[in-house]
Amino acid sequence: MKRVLVLGGGFGGIATAHRLKQKLGDEVEVILVDRRPFFMVGFRKSWALTGESTLEAGQKPIDSLSKIGVDVRRATIEAIHPQEKSATVDGERIQADALVVALGAELMPSAVPGFAEYAYNVYDPNDIPRVEKALREFKGGRLVIGIFGAPYKCPPAPLEMAMLIQDKFKKTGVEATIEVFTPQPVTLPILSQASCDAVEGRLAEIGIHTYGHHKALSIEAGEVVFEKRRIGFDLLLGVPPHKAPKVVRESGLVGESGWVEINPRTCETSFEGVYAIGDSTQIVLANKKTLPKAGLFAELMGETVADRLADIFSGKEPTAQFSGEGGCFFEVGNGEAMMIKGNFLAEPPTVDITDSSKEYYAEKVKFETDRWAKWFG
Ligand X SMILES: Cc1cc2nc3c(=O)[nH]c(=O)nc-3n(C[C@H](O)[C@H](O)[C@H](O)COP(=O)(O)OP(=O)(O)OC[C@H]3O[C@@H](n4cnc5c(N)ncnc54)[C@H](O)[C@@H]3O)c2cc1C
Dist. CA 60–CA 38, nearest whole Å = 5
What sign does the dihedral 66-312-15-35 (CA atoms) show? Answer: positive
| AA letter at 229 | R
Q: Which residues contact 358 (CB under 8 A, 6 or more apart)?
A: 335, 336
Binding to ligand X (CB under 6 A): which residues in 73-112? 76-77, 102-104
> Does residue 123 bind ligand X (CB under 6 A)?
yes
- Name which of 101 and 196 has its Cβ closer to ligand X: 101
Q: Whose Cβ is closer to ligand X: residue 24's or residue 49's?
A: 49
Q: Which residues pair with 59 in a beta bridge?
A: none
**Type of residue numbered 372:** W
Q: Which of 279, 303, 307, 336 binds ligand X (CB under 6 A)?
A: 279
Among residues 329, 344, 361, 376, which is the contact residue for ligand X, using CB under 6 A? Answer: 329
Residue 89 bridge partners (DSSP):
77, 92
Q: Is 9 exposed, middle or buried (0-12, 13-18, 19+ CB in 10 A)?
A: buried
List, as one string, the DSSP characters of 209-235: EEESS----EEETTEEE-SS-EEE-SE
Beta bridge partners of 1: none
Q: Which of residues 234-273 bind ligand X (CB under 6 A)?
A: 245, 247
In terms of CB distance, is 77 or 231 closer to ligand X?
77
Instruction: Report the nearest approach of ligand X to the CB of residue 364 (Å).
Output: 6
Nearer to ligand X (CB atom), residue 245 or residue 333: 245
End-to-end CA separation in angstroms for the chain: 26
Q: How far is the CB of 168 from ligand X (least distance, A)?
A: 16
Span of 9-17, 19-27, 52-60, 129-137 interacting with ligand X by CB under 6 A? 9-17
Binding ligand X by CB under 6 A: which of 4, 21, 46, 47?
46
Residue nearest ligand X, CB atom distance: 10
Q: Mark the segment that binds ligand X (CB under 6 A) among 218-226, 267-275, 295-303, 311-319.
A: 295-303
- According to CB under 6 A, which one of 28, 294, 320, 332 is a site residue for ligand X? 294
Q: CB-wise, 124 or 223, nearer to ligand X?
A: 124
Cβ proximity of 237 and 144 under 8 Å: yes
Q: How far is CA 351 from CA 165, 298, 307, 325, in A?
A: 27, 18, 26, 9
Q: Convert residues 20-39 into a mask of x (bound to ligand X by CB under 6 A) and - (unbound).
A: -------------xxxx---
Q: With CB under 6 A, what is the number of residues at the site for ligand X? A: 34
- 308 forms part of the interface with ligand X (CB under 6 A): no
Output 57 or 217, the one with its CB closest to ligand X.
57
**Residues in region 124-163 near ligand X by CB under 6 A:** 153-154, 157
Closer to ligand X by CB, 114 or 151: give it.
Answer: 151
Bond from prior residue into 348 cis (ω within 30 degrees of 0) = yes
Q: Let me know: does 196 contact 187? Beta carbons within 8 Å.
A: yes
> How many CB atoms lie under 10 A from the CB of residue 91?
8
Q: Are 276 and 251 in contact (CB under 8 A)?
A: no
Q: Which residues bind to ligand X, rule: CB under 6 A? A: 8-13, 33-36, 42-43, 45-46, 76-77, 102-104, 123, 153-154, 157, 245, 247, 278-279, 293-296, 298, 328-329
